[in-house]
Structure formats: C-alpha cells, structure tokens
Structure 1
Amino acid sequence: MPSSEQTPSATSPKMTTTTATSSSSNSNSTSISNPTILSSSPPNSNPTIPPRTSSTGLNRSSIAASSSAAAAASSGSHYQNFTQPAPLPNLLSSVVETDLFGGNRHRSRTYSRSHYHHHHSHPHSPSHSPSHSQSHPYATRLPATPISSVVMHSQQPSQPLDPRRYEHEDLNFTPKRSWTDDKEKVVRAPFDYVASHPGKDFRSQLINAFNALLQVPPHRLEIITKAVGMLHESSLLVDDVQDSSELRRGFPVAHNIFGVPQTINSANYIYFLALQELQKLNNPSIIAIFADELVNLHRGQGMDLFWRDTLTCPTEDDYLEMVGNKTGGLFRLGIKLMQVESGSNVDCVPLVNLIGLIFQIRDDYMNLSSREYSDNKGMCEDLTEGKFSFPVIHSIRADPTNMQLINILKQKTNDVQVKRYAVSYMESTGSFEYTREVIGVLIARARKMAADMDGGDGKADGVQKILDRMVVDNK
C-alpha cells in the first residue's frame, strides 16, 4: 500500500465542521466533514472534478484508507500494515481572506477545551496508543484572532476625515489647550522615579542652615529650595547615564527603566521647569545667577568626563577646580539666590565653596571605603566608572612609574577581587590617609569661617552641625 494511504486521519471525530477549499473555484467554501460518513461514501464518479480536499490536505480516499488502517490496528494487525513511519499531515491550512483583513466573516467552527486537551494529552496516554485512530495534535488550528483586534487600539472613525478641515481648524496647540496631566507624567516619569527614592536631602539642609544667616522670606525660600532640588535630581539622571551607573540610592537607575533618550529629555525638561519656578521671584538677577552656575556645572562635568575617557590623570589643582564648578555649582546657586532675596550683606559664597569641596572629596573617599555606598551604588563604583577621584589621583601620582592602578581604571572592571586589589594598592600609597587629612583641614577652615560670620550670635550653628556630620573617622 502506498505510504500516502497509510497517513492517519488528521480530522477529529469531535470536530463538527472543517474548512475546505475547492481547486476549481477561487471562492472559499465550508463543508461538513464526518470521517465515518466519508469513509463509506462512494468515490467521486465525475473525472472532471478533482476530489474534495480538507484543510489538512486529506481527500476522501485517504480518509477512508486511514479508517481501514485504524480498524486493522484495533484487531492487532497494526505492525503488519504499518511497515514504516507515517508522514505528518500538512499543517498549513487555507486562510480565508476576510479572516486576515477584516475579521467580520469567520468560518463556522466548533471548538471545545476538552477537545484541545484530548489532542494535547501525554503521548504515552491511551488516547495516543497505536490502537486508536487519532488525528495529529497539531493539525487542529486554534481559532484565529482577527488582526483588527490586535493592531487597532482605538475605534475607527465612522467616516473618513475630510482633509479640508485643515483649512479652518485651530492648529495652535498651546499648552493651556492641549497639554494634559497624562502627557506631563510621561515626560516627567524618569525624574519622578528618581525623586521617589529620596537621598539625605543635603542641599535643603544646607539652604536651611544658611538661612539663619540670610533670613530669606519663607515663601521665597520655598521657591529657591524647590528649584535647587529639581536641578539636583535632574542632574543625577544625566550623571548616571554618563557614568553608566547601575544603582542610585539602592534602586536601578532611571535610564535602565525608561531608556537613555527619555531619561535625558526628562532631565533637560526639569532644568527649564526649575527656571520657570525661579521666575516666580520676579528678580532679574535670578536669570544671570541661574545661567552662570549651570554653565559652571557643565564645564566641571565636561572636564571630569574628558579625563576619564582619555585616561588622563589630572593634578590635584585641576581636580579642585573641576569640583568647584561641578559640585560647587549647585551649592553656590542656592546660596547666591538666597543672597539676592535677603536683606543681609553677609557673603556666604566662600564658605559654601569650601563645603562643596569637602562634600565631593568625602564622597570620593566613601565611594571606595564605605559599605553603605557599596549597597546604594555598588562596590567601588568609581573604579568601574574609571573615574579619577581624589584618592585615585593621589595614589597614581605617588608613584608615576607604577601603572597598575591606571590600568585598572582603563579596564572599568566589575571584578570584586580586582577592585579589592586596587583599594589595597591605594592604602599602600597612603592615599586614604592623605584624603582623610585633607578633609580634616578643610573642615577646620570652614568652621573658622562660619564662626567669623556668626559674630557670636549662634546663627551659624546649623552650618557647624553640617560640618560635624562631614567628619571622616580615622581607621
């Protein structure tokens, strides 16, 4: 017997309808197919009409043959009749055009969950034994989901739009007219994400401490505090992108959630929202201060990135200048804004410059030595970034002939053992001890400056408390 006649039927007795396509016509038709009836039906007597073929590619004769084979198998002669593996039936079936493009007309089909499980039971179960005539489990097609229900997310208009509407419609989509809260949330999402995981709020504490000296009216101080906070949080978004950071305050960085383009756009957007906030003060000096310190911030950041990306170790003086621009910029911005809104003649800028240096050098030190920093940002993240931080600069310049540390920076490694070796090397060059001493000297200088500004009135007590928290214990 030819192998084509040995193929088991792919039409299940539980299927009540099957789609069939006539080769003599381009139209799609549906016919009732029952294996039992078809197997006893006489063959087609008209030679001009080809035999009808089901969607599985089986004609009546093959179905009848498979029924006979099933009967023989049930009588124990299965292995005598089937001498070679039967080929799988055609798994492709015809697709009705309206099912593909419209979804309005569907082929008549009954399909039950029990039927699906019947065909997908374990292959060694009785229903799959050779003594049962069963269809191939993948021959039954699941009901098709119309493409229109997948692609179209909103209801189609009842009639086509008239292009002539552009002749008269108002196309001035001003924010008051068309900008919605939902759109605002989309643009702000990366910023709102990082702001939802607050840090220690050092800048707000610094502003409040200096306000004891400057006495800015509360409602104006609130605007300044809010704007500086917005600038700080948005600068962190860009910082994390440029540093390829993984964690911020113990959470995944925003650009790993929202993507780099959206994160950068959100950060830049908040810069200008902060400027809009400051415009509420109605002080022409505000714009100049804002522009000056944002320029300084980007200058400092640019040099920091240049040294890292070109593997150029700066001098300590170059580093201090960079920190004065980058980190000190936002510190100065807040204090300068307060001074123009204050009736006091006290100049707090030199003191806040010192505090900015202390803050960054201490941050560099803690990044390489603090478990808390490791938990929040990753172990020795500055080494992975390849950053020339204060202890790193000292260690490299302590022995310029030793290229180990600078080569570790070049690798931008995540290897914990390599990082531990780098820390050990910096300890051997006395870089951590040197950094602690510099921090101590700068704090002492800042204390004296704050005391001189105080005049014995206790107005600088808040600043002194901040300096207390910046002290680094000797190890």
Structure 2
Amino acid sequence: MGTTPVVGTAFLQTLPTNTIGDIEHYMRRTHDIARAEAAVLYSTDATDQAALGLLTGTSGGTDLDTAARIRLHQAVAAPVLHLLDNPGRSWRPYVAAAVLCLLGADPERYRPLTAVTELLHVSALVIDDIQDNSPTRRGRPSVHEIFGTAPAITAGTLGYYTFDALIQRVPQADAATMLRIYRLYLRDLRAAHAGQALDLAGHHTAFDQAVATGDARPLLDQIRTAHRLKTGMLVRSTAEVSAILGGADETQLDAICAYFEAVGIAYQITDDVFDLYGQCTPDEHQQGITTRSPAEDLRNGEVTYPVAHATRLLDTTDRQRLRDALRQRSGTGALQASDLLMRCGAVDACTAEARELVDTTWDALAPLLPPTPHKAMVRALGWYAAQRETDHIPRTAALG
C-alpha cells in the first residue's frame, strides 16, 4: 500500500446504493438533461422571443408581435412539447452521453447532443403516429389527436431541423470534422425516411410468398432492411456523432457504430414483440397505464418481425390461418394472430435473433474499450434492448 508491499486477504463489499437495479430508470434520468437543453428552442413560455426565434428562424429581422408569437408557439412548439414533456424510455439521449464517457471525454460540454437525439426521436414519433393512425402515444392522446393532423405534420417536420441550432452549442471540431457530422446526420435522416417508406409500403407480397412456401428468408430480409434504415441507422448516427467528437479512432468508430446500430435494430425487434401487449412496464401496468393499444400492428394487418418468424415455424394450415387473421384488420383477427404467434415460438425466435445481433457486435467492440462502469452500462443497454420484459396483459381482455 503506497510504497510498501503487503500480503493478505481483501474483502470487497458492494453496497445497495452503488447498484443499478432498474436500467430504464437510470437511462430515463438523461431526459431531464435533454429537456433542459431543448428549452433553448422549445420553451414553455409562448412569449419567449429568443427560443421561438431560434426554433423558427424568425430572429433575423422578422418582426413578430406578442400575439403572433403566441400563435406560432401554439402551431410549432406546443405539439412537440406535448410529447417532449411526457418522456418515454429516453435511452436514445443516454447513448449520446454514454459514448462520450466510453471514450473518456467530458460529457458535460456536449449536453446539447442529448437534445438533438431526443428531438429527432420525438419529431419522428409525431409523424409516425399520423401515418399509422395511432390514437395514443405514451399513455396520452397522440399529437395529431390534440392539435390536428396538419399542424402536427408541420411541427414534427420542423423538429428535424433543430440539429443545426443545437450542434452549434457544443465545442466545435475542425471544419472538415463538422462537415462530416452534418453530412452523416442528413444521410441517416434520409435513410430513416427510406425505412419508413418501406414500412408503410408493407411486406405483404413477400408475406404471401412465405405463407405459400414456408420459406421466411426473403420476408425476414425485407423487414431487417426496413428496421435497419428506420431505427438502426438513427441510433448509429447518435453514437457516431458522439464518437467523432469524443476522439474515437477509426477502428473504435466502426465498432461503436456497428454495436449501436445493432442496439437500435434489436430494440425495434422487441418493439414488434411488445406490440402484442401494448408496451407497458410492470409499474405502468399496476397503475392501469397502457402506452400503446395492444396488438395495434396486428389489428392493422401489418407484417411484423414475429409474423415473419411465424411463417417458418407454422405448418401450412396455420400459416394460412395467420394470413387470414391479419387480413381481417380487426380485434378478433389480432387475437387469432396473436395466439398463433405465441404458440409457435415466434416471440422466442425474435428475442434470440435480437440477442445474437447485440452479442456479436459487442464482442467486436469490447476489446477496444477500457474497463469502466460506463462500459458495463452500455453492455447492459444492449441486453435491455434485446430482451425487454413487460407484464403480459391477458390478451382476451386487451384485444376482445
């Protein structure tokens, strides 16, 4: 000890206050940071001229009186605040900070990155709920249900453009690096729209072929591509921006990007599974809160990850029953489809694929990172994304 050699037996005691038993609660704390940083654009004060001017680009000589500012705030800020002030799991802004910590960079100087990520996600949810005709989000009416479809589209789209205002609030790298960051953000935003387009187009032709043949590979490949573009690349983008600003070398950068893209895809896979139950946590279930209508995707006749896996696990008769149930686009059809998915092992197949995806990319990343608590938490995030748990609502009550 010090300069004196010692020999003996040591005991290490881990105290409860030093353990994290609920990773969702741990990550959700990041939302408070993201919300505080987003306030520079999204103020709850409708007369805040500085925030509204920065958000809307009206601070450069456009003269708005108080009445006009209030109207503009109600049109473009209030819809986003409806979701922003009702946080979800908030693991995406956590990624922005965690990657910096993995690389030994001080995350405090880069706090606005958490808001970049959260605003991008919230804006996408606003648009997504319109396209899916979803009546609820996070246990509340969806934005378009409160503010109307047209205002929601405008407000949600504007949220995509907050990147520039926020990225300028972090320490700036050299011009070439900043240009690289802008380009990758725009690239991944385009990719997300491509993924959404594929999702909206659906996978029914490939599904019908899988039902006829029992070969699910082309169908699964289609859905994997959509999930990667829609979700995986946006999570990758968050990690990539933080890694570049945090000084990652190219080997680290490639491995970080691959891992967090896998986390995003795994989360989307388990999101498809959670659709069967309405996406509630145990605490939310006890409070009677359902964050999304149970089996909403199946009720809409969508071909999800569990459906795709089921086409290789069911026999010909049951595959046809699954197809017919989805074509009903009803609660009864959703219940029938859900029963088939549960019985054939499709849910377990989804979980296994998500876990393998995260485990494989982690094995490549782990040797490149020093052993720190942040490394352990980022690994736990992968496990969480791939095998989230929920209280299973009785399906007869939820879907009937």
Q: What's the TM-score, normalizing by structure 2?
A: 0.68
**Quick one: which amino acid aligns to residue 266 of structure 2?**
I
Task: Compute the displacement of 1:252 (Å).
Answer: 0.7
Which one scores higher on RCO, CA 8 angstroms, separation ≥ 6?
A: 2
- Where does residue 261 of structure 2 map in the other structure? 353
| Matches of 1:371 and 1:299, distance apart in 2 | 25
Task: Compute the displacement of 1:255 (Å).
Answer: 0.6
Task: Compute the displacement of 1:359 (Å).
Answer: 0.8
- Where does residue 189 of structure 1 map in the other structure? 78
Is there any run of 5+ residues in structure 2 with no aligned partner, and where?
Answer: 1-57, 173-177, 208-217, 282-288, 393-400
Residue 425 and residue 362 in structure 1: after superposition, are their counterparts in 2 closer, same or farther (change >3 A)?
Answer: same
> What are the Cα deviations for residues 281-334 of structure 1, in whole angstroms up to 9, with x where unaligned?
5522222011101011011111111116x6653621221121111101221121
CA contact (8 A) 2:83 2:122 kept: yes
- Where does residue 451 of structure 1 map in the other structure? 366
**Quick one: which amino acid aligns to residue 273 of structure 1?**
T
CA contact (8 A) 1:227 1:275 kept: no
> What are the Cα deviations for residues 173-192 of structure 1, in whole angstroms up to 9, with x where unaligned?
95542275412343222111
Is there any run of 5+ residues in structure 1 with no aligned partner, and where?
Answer: 1-171
**Quick one: which amino acid aligns to residue 349 of structure 1?**
C
Corresponding position: 1:423 with 2:338:
yes
| Matches of 2:280 and 2:338, distance apart in 1 | 16
CA contact (8 A) 2:259 2:358 kept: no
**Quick one: which amino acid aligns to residue 337 of structure 1?**
V
| Matches of 1:386 and 1:436, distance apart in 2 | 22
Corresponding position: 1:344 with 2:233:
no
Task: Compute the displacement of 1:219 (Å).
Answer: 5.2
Question: 3-state DSSP class of the match of 1:257?
Answer: helix
The CA RMSD over aligned residues, in Å, is 2.7
CA contact (8 A) 2:299 2:333 kept: no
**Quick one: which amino acid aligns to residue 294 of structure 1?**
L
Residue 173 and residue 391 in structure 1: after superposition, are their counterparts in 2 closer, same or farther (change >3 A)?
Answer: closer
Task: Compute the displacement of 1:336 (Å).
Answer: 1.5
The 5 Å alignment of 1:280-295 reads 280-281=169-170, 282=172, 283-295=178-190
Q: What is the total number of aligned residue pairs between the two structures? A: 301
- Where does residue 191 of structure 2 map in the other structure? 296
Task: Compute the displacement of 1:358 (Å).
Answer: 1.1
Task: Compute the displacement of 1:267 (Å).
Answer: 0.6
Task: Compute the displacement of 1:444 (Å).
Answer: 2.9
Corresponding position: 1:265 with 2:265:
no
Question: 3-state DSSP class of the match of 1:343?
Answer: coil
Structure whose CA Rg is larger: 1
CA contact (8 A) 1:215 1:344 kept: no
| Matches of 2:198 and 2:388, distance apart in 1 | 27
| Matches of 1:290 and 1:473, distance apart in 2 | 31
| Matches of 1:385 and 1:327, distance apart in 2 | 20
CA contact (8 A) 2:96 2:117 kept: no
Residue 188 and residue 450 in structure 1: after superposition, are their counterparts in 2 closer, same or farther (change >3 A)?
Answer: same
> What are the Cα deviations for residues 236-265 of structure 1, in whole angstroms up to 9, with x where unaligned?
000101111111011111111111111000
- Where does residue 225 of structure 1 map in the other structure? 114
- Where does residue 6 of structure 1 map in the other structure? none
| Matches of 2:274 and 2:342, distance apart in 1 | 14
Task: Compute the displacement of 1:375 (Å).
Answer: 1.3
Residue 315 and residue 277 in structure 1: after superposition, are their counterparts in 2 closer, same or farther (change >3 A)?
Answer: same
